[in-house]
Structure 1
């Protein structure tokens, strides 16, 4: 097999963006817009009934990761439309987003879905479903199926677990200062006590590490397959 190089003085043109990758890019942009719309809907509704507390609303793990999702999905969508391959940094961040999305969906649906607000407030149904069900499912499926990822190392797990640990630390310090905790399972004076809080935090941290390990393995299989195909 002969390999034809680019003429002298010219650089080889980048690989064209495939139709499937373009479609994935558009869907990623739509997912980003959906998350933004969900947050705007929640905030607007809470303002209208006089219960919006910015320092509490933006302290929730779901809300913070939702804001991360808006940026990451939008950047990924633009990248997919413009180039055939993601950068290594973006891929590592995207692996973290994969683990946060699944944790958000699992924790909400197992521990929080049937827990009512203390003031009896019930907001619009669809933002909660979007943030805790639809978007986590999309992010997980997209990670497993989308092409164009760069290969990442096992060290990506440290990146993934660092933000949740910082979030827990800040949350517990704030709770100790003003008595407010975003989730019942983080309340040290609640029914489960300090031991229950530690168990939940350790369990969720281990879950995040395990999910990120799965994300790295998926990434390895995908990039190995694409490298093998390119070499043929």
Structure 2
């Protein structure tokens, strides 16, 4: 139970760090006086990390009050981690590609926390947390529901506001339908791969951890 208490405190700390980074990133974006700053909540990273804050707070309460996490919480956490970790990897690739093209991309400390630090720490916690339940393989296709819905809304909204959160969704910045479809397919494949790794990690038997049984 002592280990659960420690992880409860860590979950609460991570939620606080995530919330602080989100607030900083919001005001940093607004200070730029650009369309991107005004559309802060349109980013998949922001939406998934807002959800992560809520899930981590719930997880902290569960870790401080129960010897094991309920199955529904493990499922919720697996989905949210899939989205935040994938968003972090995608952001790293975008920054890398921008550097190759000679395009400047400012990365404030809050972006580094949201895209790199927190995904790494939460991934490690997913593996190490005591009293953690395994999750089923249906998490993999289910994890695609949010990015698909987000993408649909983004493509519908983009022409009205004249802005897209990621360049590969903007028809003006891709060479044509082929590049758009290939890039989107690669993004969905990345979500599926991360979800697969999360399921595999949860189903690895560790002493004192319940086996997957969904």
Q: Closer, same or farther in 2 for the Cα pair 1:69/1:26, shift >3 Å?
A: same
**Highest CA radius of gyration, 1 or 2?**
1
Q: What's the offset of the Cα at 1:147?
A: 1.8
Quote the Cα distance in structure 2 between the aligned partners of 1:224 and 1:19. Answer: 16
Match of 1:94 among 77, 99, 103: 77
Alignment of 1:2-151 (within 5 A): 18-48=1-31, 50-51=33-34, 56-112=39-95, 115=98, 125-151=108-134
Q: Is contact 1:61–1:167 with CA below 8 Å preserved after alignment?
A: yes
Judged with a 3 Å threshold, the aligned counterparts in structure 2 of structure 1 residues 60 and 203 are, in CA distance, closer, same or farther, namely same
**1: CA distance, partners of 2:138 / 2:69:** 18
Provide the residue aligned with 2:151 in structure 1.
168
Q: CA-atom RMSD, angstroms?
A: 2.6
CA drift of 1:70 comes to 0.8
CA distance in 1, matches of 2:82, 2:178: 25
Secondary structure of the 2:142 match is: helix
| Equivalent residue number for residue 194 of structure 1 | 177
1:29 and 1:52 map into 2 onto residues whose CA distance is: 33
Gaps of at least 5 residues in structure 2 are none
Give structure 1 stretches of 5+ with no counterpart.
Answer: 1-17
Deviation of the 1:90 alpha carbon: 1.1
